[in-house]
Copies of this chain bind each other. A is one copy, B any other.
């Protein structure tokens, strides 16, 4: 079944418009009428597979964010199930992600869980507002190098932060460097059982990851399918195996491994987002909470939207992503999530890849993975006590270690060193300070690189000789705007000084022309005229003609000419003025 818009409504025009608007904002209406058994089976398989990834990932991300593990599951089912109704990209699965967990950790470190839930709610509101105000373009200010830089940094930070869990150590460290320093300082406290379990889990996870690539004869599709399923459900299998082992070898007074510990069983209670929190017997008001969260209330939504749109783009090759609808959906998912104590959520690249590989057909797959999460919450939470921390660390490390984006570094080294600088800046700020600050620094860095390019455009000049006379032809390598107009004008003037009297300005590349540039062109024309030259812009694109026609002191006859020769022919040299006349002109 094609997952595309179709079927024009049969009612009148008005009804059709309403129906289209409704289908636009409630995309389930687009595919549900044509939903069939084949699609349903495909979605069931994909949904269950996704669920097997979602449950262990959610638990691990909650532990990464320093929250009790059940909060991961609280965050998983609402988003996943709401996306069925509102989502447009069948591969996206809304839930906790490594980036969101890390961001939450950095913002809410040491704060009660109410802050996390409030952050979820406020982020949802901001994303929804961004969607309704069509502010999605803000995400375009974050260049791919910045995305690459902070993704790699996220991976490095998470690996550094999870090493202690893998080794059975306990300490609180904020930075990557601190993590390594504490590990070295506490080297003698390493719990060998945990370290061994962690190593085994990592090895098994990395091996199972490779299992699906084992070459199997095409004649044995079932074996192939089994290997693939084994590979894709590796997280669930490893957590299950490690927990069973911990349960079987459990000794109440002296547990062999560090365990996740007591987990609140059952479904979360439904309650409004916390607009106040109790800390040390005193109540913190809403305003104080928002001040404590600070700029994260803006940066978290931006990163959320960025991640979601990046995924949607990656899986919609045609590029027909309805960014507004995606933002509205993401906002509503988080606002609803905050009612069940969810941490901030967005689409995860890893899960989307699983959905894609599992042959998902419609967003309905989310329904099944949501149900699996709910079942886990109802029936399994009592057993979560036995999940070894080292095992969760292994799951996290093996998930994020492949996010380190070395290929981007290699490609940028070849193609664009300035952008590589932006990537490095983002990476370093992420690792040394916070992801939030890094996104901001990276965006400003990209902007600086862009401005540098704009400020110093290449300028080519050559002399043209035709029957209509000779001219200097100048072509500038970027739009003429306030950051470069003066510089370009100065260089054109310098180039014109000793050349022929006509200066042809090729405006093909001058597709941007702001007020400062118009003034600069007028001054240039005046300065050239004072030195006896004429400024002839040509090759002006249709939508800028009216601007060039307003310019005072600029020759207009050649504006529409598309070649230098035609321009010179359209505005030939005036007859030479008699010497006395020229002197009179100059004297004025």
Contacts and interface: CB of A to CB of B under 8 A. Distances in A.
A223 interface: no
Interface stretch (A118-126, A376-384, A465-473, A511-519): A511-519
B514 A416 contact: yes
Contacts of A453: 479, 481, 512, 514
Contacts of A145: 515-516
A483 to B, nearest CB: 5
B416 A515 contact: yes
Nearest to A489: B319
Interface stretch (A23-31, A150-158, A299-307, A442-450): A442-450
Contact of A483 (B450, B457, B475): B450
A137 interface: yes
A449 to B, nearest CB: 7
What class of interface size applies to chain A in its complex with B? 35 or more
Contacts of A530: 317
A512 B454 contact: yes
A481 B511 CA distance: 14
Contact of A490 (B319, B455, B482): B319
B140 A487 contact: yes
A484 interface: yes
A479 B508 CA distance: 11
Interface in A130-184: 137, 140-141, 143-145
A479 B478 CA distance: 6
A411 B515 CA distance: 9
A316 to B, nearest CB: 10
Given A317-B530, A319-B489, A450 B514 contact: yes
Interface string A311-323: 0010001111000
Interface in A409-451: 411-412, 414-416, 419, 446-447, 449-451
A412 B484 CA distance: 19
A240 interface: no
B140 A484 contact: yes
A542 interface: yes
Nearest to A541: B477
Nearest to A506: B508
Contacts of A519: 144
A190 interface: no
A32 interface: no
A225 interface: no
Contact of A446 (B419, B482, B518): B482
Contacts of A460: 541-543
Contacts of A416: 514-515, 518
11 contacts: A140-B482, A140-B486, A144-B516, A144-B519, A145-B516, A319-B489, A419-B514, A419-B516, A450-B483, A454-B512, A457-B511
Given A319-B490, A478-B511, 13 more contacts: A140-B483, A140-B484, A141-B483, A143-B516, A414-B550, A416-B518, A419-B515, A450-B454, A453-B481, A477-B512, A478-B479, A508-B508, A509-B511
Interface of A: 137, 140-141, 143-145, 313, 317-320, 411-412, 414-416, 419, 446-447, 449-451, 453-455, 457-458, 460, 475-479, 481-484, 486-487, 489-490, 493, 508-509, 511-512, 514-516, 518-519, 523, 526-527, 530, 539, 541-543, 547, 550
* 5 tightest A-B CB contacts, nearest first: A508-B508, A143-B482, A416-B515, A477-B511, A509-B511
